[in-house]
């Protein structure tokens, strides 16, 4: 390797794009894993179409995977430094995600007249202007890969499946990384298929060597800064959906309650169920129900019978679960509902991210039906928020909705592995067998939570249900009783605020402008605020994870700032929620409803505009 | 057959042990009273521990039943009783879980949950109170209302073809189906007791009379004057005989079932079909469940087939993984795969 002209970078964004069958997700994962293992901080973001295999070579079929590596990574990055485009459609649709001057690697073999026409090109895409704006490397990926395949006695179709390895080889060269880590992965993954291992290793090596032979590559090698601000400890890469599943498992172990998940497949939440289904050895009882309603209803039944009961879904599924959620509120049973949000309404944008289920989570039920809503703010902290949601549900006897989103759920991040002994205790409110004073809706003075008496326990048999009950248990249509029970259910949720930490302000707390965010946007918001303050602009920032109830000092914070901007990936739902509670605080909004995460650049532009106003 | 995971009580119960202190609020003369009595008589016969009995119901008149039984109970939401009960049983297989639903609850809004519970052979005891009408909402036609019947929402007669719950159960590969009449509590108790002991999903259909909104809907078969001729009580291993003096019987003529009379046209007892509730093939059971019109309506246990329950398969898989699985605790899982020190 020519190492004379290495460019040192604090961080680097690489975007892999190709047909949805081109193995771009795998290339991206292999690159991010190799980076993490060699000491970089990472964050990834898959951007894939709703179709499993859209027509070959069309823009509809382009699948992307963005990897952000570097010293201290908050998000999957805005625009990329290196773009890999495996066909003309990927080139055409993804070039807008490349920084000016980016290195763009294309598989030139795929730029046939037919494929270019399918991508919508009427003339040669590589204009002089384009060649000046980017460093375009026209690599003969397909022909090289097929030649290696031929030498190993593999047919073209099979060989083509390894084209992504050639591109990955070039990326490894360009990022000054070694191949051993990925070799080891391939040997593990295809242990029973030595021919596949040999082919992939050969293609990967060939891509690497091809890059070495290219003069232009020698001036485009990046050395990415190692993560030096990270806390010491053991780390792993984790996606938000897996972290959510593990957080629930951890809560089950800590609380001593069996974990039950009743769910129905739905993008982008399915992986929570897929992950938990693997862990019967840890006691995870997963039930794939016949529909979304049966998913939550089975969980409510399991909760009645004493499990840490959960259901996972996305927006349309949450709509279907609304009536049953009301039942969980009425019966005051612990329940965790994970909503991995996607673009809506209706089927909307199933594979794209959005934060537009907030109103539904807060209000989407008949009657006065308060429950707890919390939101995770990074792929890795989905673990802690799932754990926390379960802890609140079990200790306060209430359903809890955990909001994550497609960006957090499918994206990945480094996760500092906790030790279970350091996780907080969870104490479910179990009733005592044969307690003569047990009453189904007797509450404790502090939390206002009822006790949990489980079928099978002696001397506690009782009935619960959707009809209004009096505190002693039997049905009641008494007007005073309904008013009392309604207030008690609300008070129980309100009192959760006594058990959560104060809301914090970061950035420059003495600023004029307060940036407010919630849930999955923390990465881009944190970086935007940090960069602004580094540039000498004063910006304060507060990010919400506890949505309902809000931390008790929320009003004190909001009242301190002259300018407040609430940033969210919807049309202003959190802003509206805050306004109803703090009408004295004027707030502006910054909203994005494009199915995409925030970019740091757009946020800074908006904050600058507000500062100058 | 006995259930796999449900513990037996170490004492004998009486009917009174299961009676709740709540006032029963069904209309006077409602068939539900008799069904409740039959159910209360069933519990002591099953021998399961009382605190391990859990009643789950949906919405409708019949779904009030958990309040009238002194066990654990869940009066849930319309149509969802099977789904809730499935969760109860999965969370704690040691429970004897009962599901009580009406015809609208179980086959209209809850149809999907019913067929899937039956298909899985989840260990639940499902009782369907079939009065062929929506009673609690005051008289609209249900999925079992007779074709052409005039109701509040079908003033010109229904044009909906009705479901036959038995056929639905067979179609979903059900392992247990029985039918009884509200006015014959002994038969109901017998069906329910056998259902309760069936290790899998059982469905008992009770033809029930709604005195207010669909009075005498089953009268054509339940009236004392005609009952012996219009119904047949099936018993495993016995010839299918009916009529006041058991002079009539059922014969399979190679194409369909037909009614024959012993002594006529050379028919002897040997020509009469013998009931086998255990045949895996649903063919004959489907025909028996379908009977009506010219043929007597079949009562008693029509189908009772051994098939490993979902509950048992689930527990076996859990146990196998808990013994042989790679991860024994969360720390194992958290530290598995690629990790590195910073």
Domain boundary among A224, A259, A276: A224
Q: Is 70 exceeded by the pLDDT of residue A2?
A: no
Residue B235 confidence (pLDDT) = 98
Chain A residue closest in CA terms to B337:
A236
Regarding an ipTM greater than 0.85, the answer is yes
Cβ separation B116–A290 shorter than 8 A: yes
Q: Which one of B53, B59, B63, B90 makes the best mutation probe of the A interface by having the most chain A beta carbons within 10 Å? A: B90
Q: Summarize the confidence of residues A17-25 as an average pLDDT.
A: 89
What is the CATH number for A533? 3.40.50.920
Cβ separation A305–B66 shorter than 8 A: no
Domain boundary among A166, A200, A224: A224
Same domain, A15 and A92: yes
Q: Do B89 and B122 form a contact (C-beta atoms < 8 A)?
A: yes
Same domain, A210 and A255: no
Same domain, A252 and A169: no
- In sequence order, the 6+-apart residues with CB closer than 8 A to the CB of A43 are A67, A68, A73, A74, A75, A76, A77, A379, A411, A412, A413, A523
- A472 located within any domain: no
Cβ separation A290–B112 shorter than 8 A: yes
Q: Which residues of chain B have pLDDT under 70?
A: 1
Q: Is the pTM of this model over 0.90?
A: yes
Cβ separation A301–B59 shorter than 8 A: no
Cβ separation B91–A281 shorter than 8 A: no
- A114 located within any domain: yes
Same domain, A358 and A272: yes
Residue A229 confidence (pLDDT) = 79
- pLDDT tens digits along A177-190: 999 989 998 998 89
Cβ separation B83–A459 shorter than 8 A: no
Q: Summarize the confidence of residues A116-125 as an average pLDDT.
A: 93
- pLDDT tens digits along A226-259: 988 788 999 999 999 999 999 999 999 999 999 9
- pLDDT tens digits along A267-297: 999 999 999 999 999 999 999 999 999 999 9
Same domain, A323 and A273: yes
Looking at A214-353, list the stretches that DSSP marks H as alpha helix, in order from N- to C-terminal side: 215-218, 240-255, 270-277, 292-304, 315-320, 322-331
Measure B190 CA to nearest chain A CA, in Å: 25
Q: Which one of A247, A279, A297 makes the best mutation probe of the B interface by having the most chain B beta carbons within 10 Å? A: A297
Same domain, A199 and A328: no
A/B interface, count of CB pairs below 8 Å: 206
Same domain, A414 and A535: no
- A369 located within any domain: yes
Same domain, A242 and A214: no
pLDDT above 70 covers a percentage of chain A that reads 99
Which fold would CATH assign to domain B15-217+308-321? Rossmann fold (3.40.50)
Q: Is 60 exceeded by the pLDDT of residue A1?
A: no
The total of structural domains in chain A comes to 3
Same domain, A205 and A247: no
In terms of Cα–Cα distance, which of A70, A92, A89, A121 is closest to A21?
A89
Residue A214 confidence (pLDDT) = 92
- pLDDT tens digits along B1-55: 678 899 999 999 999 999 999 999 999 999 999 999 999 999 999 999 999 999 9
- pLDDT tens digits along A400-436: 999 999 999 999 999 999 999 999 999 999 999 999 9
Chain A residues with beta carbon closer than 8 angstroms to that of B95 = 305, 455-456
Split at pLDDT 50, 70, 90, the class of A544 is very high
Q: Which domain holds residue A562?
A: 506-612
Measure B262 CA to nearest chain A CA, in Å: 49
- A126 located within any domain: yes
Q: Which one of A255, A331, A455, A475 makes the best mutation probe of the B interface by having the most chain B beta carbons within 10 Å? A: A455
- A488 located within any domain: no
Residue B342 confidence (pLDDT) = 80
- A427 located within any domain: no
What is the CATH number for A76? 3.40.920.10
Cβ separation B74–A301 shorter than 8 A: yes
Nearest to A474 among B22, B85, B318 (CB): B22
For B169, other C-beta atoms within 10 Å of its C-beta total 30
Domain boundary among A190, A224, A258: A224
Residue A488 confidence (pLDDT) = 98
Measure A279 CA to nearest chain B CA, in Å: 8
What is the CATH number for A371? 3.40.50.970
CA-to-CA distance for B309 and B200, rounded, in angstroms?
5
Chain A residues with beta carbon closer than 8 angstroms to that of B22 = 474
Same domain, A188 and A307: no
Cβ separation B83–A289 shorter than 8 A: yes
Cβ separation B84–A298 shorter than 8 A: yes
Decide: residue A212, CB within 10 A, 0-12 exposed, 13-18 middle, 19+ buried.
Answer: middle
Nearest to B91 among A285, A323, A417 (CB): A285
CA-to-CA distance for B38 and B61, rounded, in angstroms?
17
In terms of Cα–Cα distance, which of B40, B35, B87 is closest to B60?
B35
- A481 located within any domain: no
Split at pLDDT 50, 70, 90, the class of A4 is low
Both structure tokens of A330: 């009425």
Chain A residues with beta carbon closer than 8 angstroms to that of B87 = 260, 262, 287, 297-305, 307, 309
In terms of Cα–Cα distance, which of A512, A510, A507, A509 is closest to A612?
A512
- A470 located within any domain: no
Same domain, A145 and A242: no
Measure B247 CA to nearest chain A CA, in Å: 47
Distance of CA A426 to the CA centre of its chain: 25
Cβ separation A417–B334 shorter than 8 A: yes
Q: Do A97 and A83 form a contact (C-beta atoms < 8 A)?
A: yes
- pLDDT tens digits along A346-374: 999 999 999 999 999 999 999 999 999 99
Chain B residue closest in CA terms to A257:
B91
Ranges of beta strands (E only) in A150-225 are 221-224
Nearest to B327 among A37, A230, A279 (CB): A279
Same domain, A159 and A295: no
Q: Summarize the confidence of residues A465-492 as an average pLDDT.
A: 96
pLDDT above 90 covers a percentage of chain A that reads 90
């Amino acid at each position: 390797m020519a190492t004379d002209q290495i460019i040192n970078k604090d961080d680097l964004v690489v975007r892999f794009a190709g047909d949805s069958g081109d193995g771009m997700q795998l290339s991206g994962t292999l690159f991010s894993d190799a980076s993490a293992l060699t000491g970089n901080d990472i964050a990834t973001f898959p951007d894939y179409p709703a179709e499993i295999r859209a027509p070959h070579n069309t823009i509809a079929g382009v699948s992307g995977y963005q990897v952000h590596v570097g010293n201290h990574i908050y998000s999957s990055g805005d625009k990329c430094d290196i773009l890999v485009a495996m066909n003309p459609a990927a080139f055409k649709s993804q070039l807008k995600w490349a920084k000016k001057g980016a290195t763009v690697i294309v598989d030139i073999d795929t730029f046939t007249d037919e494929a270019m026409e399918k991508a919508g090109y009427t003339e040669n895409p590589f204009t002089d202007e384009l060649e000046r704006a980017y460093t375009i490397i026209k690599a003969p990926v397909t022909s090289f890969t097929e030649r290696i395949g031929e030498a190993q006695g593999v047919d073209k179709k099979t060989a083509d499946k390894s084209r992504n390895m050639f591109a990955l080889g070039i990326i490894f060269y360009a990022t000054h990384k070694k191949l051993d880590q990925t070799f080891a992965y391939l040997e593990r993954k295809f242990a029973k298929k030595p021919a596949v291992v040999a082919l992939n290793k050969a293609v990967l090596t060939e891509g690497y060597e091809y890059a070495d032979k290219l003069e232009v590559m020698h001036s485009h090698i990046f050395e990415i800064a190692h993560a030096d601000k990270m806390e010491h400890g053991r780390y792993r890469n984790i996606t938000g959906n897996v972290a959510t599943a593990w957080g629930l498992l951890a809560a089950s172990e800590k609380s001593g309650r069996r974990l039950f998940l009743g769910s129905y497949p739905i993008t982008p939440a399915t992986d929570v169920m897929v992950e938990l289904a693997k862990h019967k050895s840890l006691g995870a009882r997963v039930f794939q129900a016949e529909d979304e309603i049966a998913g939550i209803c089975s969980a409510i039944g399991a909760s009645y019978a004493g499990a840490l009961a959960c259901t996972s879904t996305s927006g349309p599924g949450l709509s279907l679960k609304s009536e049953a959620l009301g039942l969980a509120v009425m019966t005051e049973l612990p329940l965790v509902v994970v909503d991995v949000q996607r673009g809506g309404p209706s089927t909307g944008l199933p594979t794209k991210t959005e934060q537009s289920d907030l109103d539904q989570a807060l209000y989407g039920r008949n009657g006065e039906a308060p429950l707890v809503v919390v939101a995770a703010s990074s792929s890795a902290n989905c673990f802690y928020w799932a754990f926390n949601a379960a802890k609140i549900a079990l200790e306060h006897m209430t359903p809890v909705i955990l909001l994550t989103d497609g960006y957090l759920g499918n994206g990945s991040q480094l996760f500092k592995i906790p030790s279970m002994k350091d996780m907080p205790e969870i104490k479910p409110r179990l009733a005592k067998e044969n307690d003569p004073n047990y009453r189904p809706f007797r509450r404790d003075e502090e939390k206002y939570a009822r006790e949990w008496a489980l079928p099978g326990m002696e001397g506690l048999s009782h009935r619960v249900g959707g009809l209004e009950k009096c505190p002693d248990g039997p049905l009641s249509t008494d007007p005073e009783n309904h008013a009392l029970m309604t207030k008690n259910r609300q008070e129980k949720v309100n009192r959760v605020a006594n058990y959560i930490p104060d809301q914090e302000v970061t950035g420059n707390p003495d600023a004029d402008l307060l940036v407010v965010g919630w849930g999955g946007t923390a990465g881009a918001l944190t970086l935007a605020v940090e960069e602004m303050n580094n540039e000498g602009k004063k910006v304060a920032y507060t990010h919400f994870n506890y949505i309902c109830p809000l931390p008790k000092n929320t009003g004190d914070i909001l009242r301190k700032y002259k300018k407040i901007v609430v940033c969210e990936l919807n049309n202003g739902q959190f802003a509206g929620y805050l306004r109803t509670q703090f009408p004295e605080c004027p707030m502006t909004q910054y909203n994005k409803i494009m199915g995409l995460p925030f970019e740091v650049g757009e946020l800074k532009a908006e904050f600058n505009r507000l500062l100058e106003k | 057959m006995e259930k796999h995971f449900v513990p037996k009580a170490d004492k004998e119960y009486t009917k009174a042990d299961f009676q709740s202190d709540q006032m029963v609020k069904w209309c006077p003369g409602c068939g539900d009273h008799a069904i409740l009595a039959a159910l209360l008589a069933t519990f002591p016969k099953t021998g399961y521990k009382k605190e391990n009995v859990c009643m789950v119901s949906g919405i409708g008149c019949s779904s009030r039943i958990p309040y009238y039984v002194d066990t654990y109970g869940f009066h849930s939401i319309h149509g969802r009783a099977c789904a809730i009960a499935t969760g109860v049983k999965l969370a704690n297989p040691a429970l004897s879980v009962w599901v009580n639903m009406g015809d609208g609850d179980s086959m209209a809004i809850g149809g999907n949950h019913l067929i899937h519970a039956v298909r899985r052979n989840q260990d639940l005891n499902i009782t369907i109170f079939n009065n062929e009408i929506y009673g609690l909402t005051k008289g609209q036609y249900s999925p079992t209302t007779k074709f052409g019947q005039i109701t509040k929402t079908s003033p010109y007669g229904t044009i909906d073809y009705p479901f036959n719950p038995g056929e639905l159960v067979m179609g979903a590969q059900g392992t247990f189906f029985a039918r009884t009449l509200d006015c014959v509590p002994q038969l109901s108790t017998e069906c329910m007791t056998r259902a309760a002991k069936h290790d899998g999903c059982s469905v008992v259909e009770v033809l029930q009379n709604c005195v207010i909104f669909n009075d005498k809907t089953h009268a054509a078969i339940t009236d004392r004057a005609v009952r012996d001729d219009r119904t047949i009580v099936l018993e495993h291993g016995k010839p299918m005989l009916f009529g006041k003096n058991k002079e009539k019987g059922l014969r399979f003529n190679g194409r369909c079932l037909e009614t024959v009379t012993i002594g006529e046209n050379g028919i002897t007892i040997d020509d009469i079909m013998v009931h086998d509730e255990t045949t895996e093939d649903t063919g004959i059971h489907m025909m028996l469940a379908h009977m009506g019109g010219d043929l007597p309506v079949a009562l008693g246990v029509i189908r009772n087939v051994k098939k490993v329950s979902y509950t048992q398969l689930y527990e076996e898989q859990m146990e196998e993984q808990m013994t042989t699985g790679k991860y024994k605790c969360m720390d194992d899982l958290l530290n598995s795969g690629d990790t590195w020190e910073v």
